[in-house]
Structure 1
Amino acid sequence: MNLQLIRNATLIIDYAGTRFLIDPMLAPKGTYPPFTPSKRDDIKNPIVDLPESVDAILEGIDAVILTHLHLDHFDDKAKEVLPKSINLYVQNEADAGEVQKAGFTNVHMLNNEQFNGIQLIKTKGKHGRGEILKRTGTVSGIAFKHENEKTLYVAGDTVWNEEVEEEILTHHPDIIVVNAGDNQFLEGGSIVMGKEDVLQTASAAPEATIISTHMEAVNHGTLSREELKNTATEKGLQSRILVPEDGESYTF
């Protein structure tokens, strides 16, 4: 398995001979308005450029997986450049309808699917706590399983909660990708994991490696890579909680 962070939650995952693109946000720096209301409403999104060209990112992609359809996970640029016939997996019928409206013709729903012999299992999550969930809506993650690979769990846009704990207990992942920018609006609290959420994830899966993404890429993020690295080091978890730069990759 090779896993590369592109930017924000956009990943390229080479798994059992298949190349997946996860949650593509592909527009240049500053293309979209800020997510509001936040502490940095004066900064357009994305706040950094891609680490490589769009053509390089799309090369050899076999399937695209969308955990949900928020702009920072599936943007207008992705809709424009992705082949309309590509294998595209979504979380539910509502999302399937939206991507079909955008012209995609080979749309599947994640529900314990098989693709090239790889088991793709939709996982649950909560995009925040309390009232903010009315705004953030339904999200998902994915567990990847194959007899020749380690089990991978991409948690998606979720805070730590009983559903994430249940997925860990169910799938026993070796690698867990968490969206850990502690993104927040002015009211409603965190809508993805912050430092404490990442630590709880590491505690719940003591044998797993944690990869922290969705950082330093959109205006409502509040947790820096440096701060999370420092926290991991303070807890003696720096070898288990990895915090990649954009473009960085790992092989497992």
Structure 2
Amino acid sequence: MKVHHLRNATLVIETQRQVILVDPMLSKKGTSAPFTLFRFKPRKNPLVDLPANAYDILEKVTHCLITHLHPDHIDDEGVAFLKERNIPVVCSALDVAKLKKKGLKVTETLEYGETKDYLDGSISGVKAVHGYGFVKHIAGNVMGYHLALPDEKSIYISSDTVYTEHVDKALKQYKPDITVLAAGMAQLDFGKPLLMNSDDIVKFVQNSPKHVFANHMESLNHCPNTRTDLKRLLKKHGLLEKVDIPNDGDFVSY
């Protein structure tokens, strides 16, 4: 299995049989409004363009998983890409109506905690909580996925979440070979962080059974944690060797 990091939370899982796109934010640099105006510099999003090799990777896509409907996870360009190629989509049962209204080909939906057959293997929905304190109530619903396909490493895409009992259970119950960590520490102009803080990042990595794939950094103006910051934190706790921190356009083979 290869896991390609395109930008932010957009990744591609390439197996021997399928190529699965996750959360397609495909817009050009600087085409969307800032997520914060005061807490961090109000730069337009995305902060960077897609890497030059992104389009070659996207041409191979056969399936798609969508964790939630925020524009940094699926934007208009992502919708257009999926519609043009009639790519089958898996999403939360809470999001299916809105995605079908956009014209997407939703072929499977999941409730939190539900497992279904998928691509000759299985897929499970894991509840994600998008923030600490009251901000989680306005951030909306998010679904993580555990994907187990035949003759491939299993992978848990935790998506935009803080560390909760749902995350902890997924790590211990599924024992995934690969865990995907949103490590950007996103914040709005008000409230507590939307993603795991440094303590929860450390806990997530410590409790991940094997490999960790870190993303959601250096692409949006409300995500202050950089790859360098993450490496420094992990090194302090003796965890750096356990975590892959790819640059945009890179892939990791597992």
- TM band (smaller chain): over 0.9
Structure 1 counterpart of 2:239: 237
CA distance in 2, matches of 1:190, 1:38: 15
CA gap of 1:238–1:5, structure 2 versus 1, over 3 A, is same
1:174 partner amino acid: D
State the aligned residue count. 250
Structure 2 counterpart of 1:182: 185
Structure 1 counterpart of 2:98: 98
CA distance in 1, matches of 2:253, 2:57: 17
Q: Deviations over 1:136-158 (max 9, x none)?
A: 01101110113412221110000
What is the TM-score when the length of structure 2 is the normalising length?
Answer: 0.93
Q: Deviations over 1:4-60 (max 9, x none)?
A: 110000000013521100000000100100113552352000011100266324212
Verify the 8 A CA contact 1:178 1:210 in the aligned structure 2.
yes
Structure 1 counterpart of 2:221: 219
Q: Which moved more, 1:32-41 or 1:66-75?
A: 32-41
Q: Deviations over 1:54-101 (max 9, x none)?
A: 632421211111000100000011112223521011111x41111111
CA distance in 2, matches of 1:226, 1:209: 19
CA gap of 1:57–1:31, structure 2 versus 1, over 3 A, is farther
CA distance in 2, matches of 1:56, 1:147: 25
SS in 1 for 2:128: coil
CA distance in 1, matches of 2:38, 2:125: 30
CA distance in 2, matches of 1:221, 1:65: 23
What is the TM-score when the length of structure 1 is the normalising length?
Answer: 0.93
What is the CA distance between 1:194 and its match in structure 2? 3.1
The answer to whether residue 125 in structure 2 is matched with residue 122 in structure 1 is yes
Structure 2 counterpart of 1:138: 141
CA gap of 1:53–1:240, structure 2 versus 1, over 3 A, is closer
Verify the 8 A CA contact 1:143 1:153 in the aligned structure 2.
yes
Q: Which moved more, 1:144-153 or 1:171-180?
A: 144-153
CA distance in 1, matches of 2:173, 2:16: 21
CA distance in 2, matches of 1:15, 1:100: 27
Percent of residue pairs identical = 32
Verify the 8 A CA contact 2:83 2:103 in the aligned structure 1.
no
| Alignment root-mean-square deviation, CA | 1.6
The answer to whether residue 156 in structure 2 is matched with residue 153 in structure 1 is yes
User: What pairs up with 1:28-107 in 2 under 5 angstroms?
Assistant: 28-40=28-40, 42-52=42-52, 55-84=55-84, 85-92=86-93, 94-107=94-107
CA distance in 2, matches of 1:127, 1:172: 22
CA distance in 2, matches of 1:204, 1:144: 18
CA distance in 1, matches of 2:196, 2:26: 23
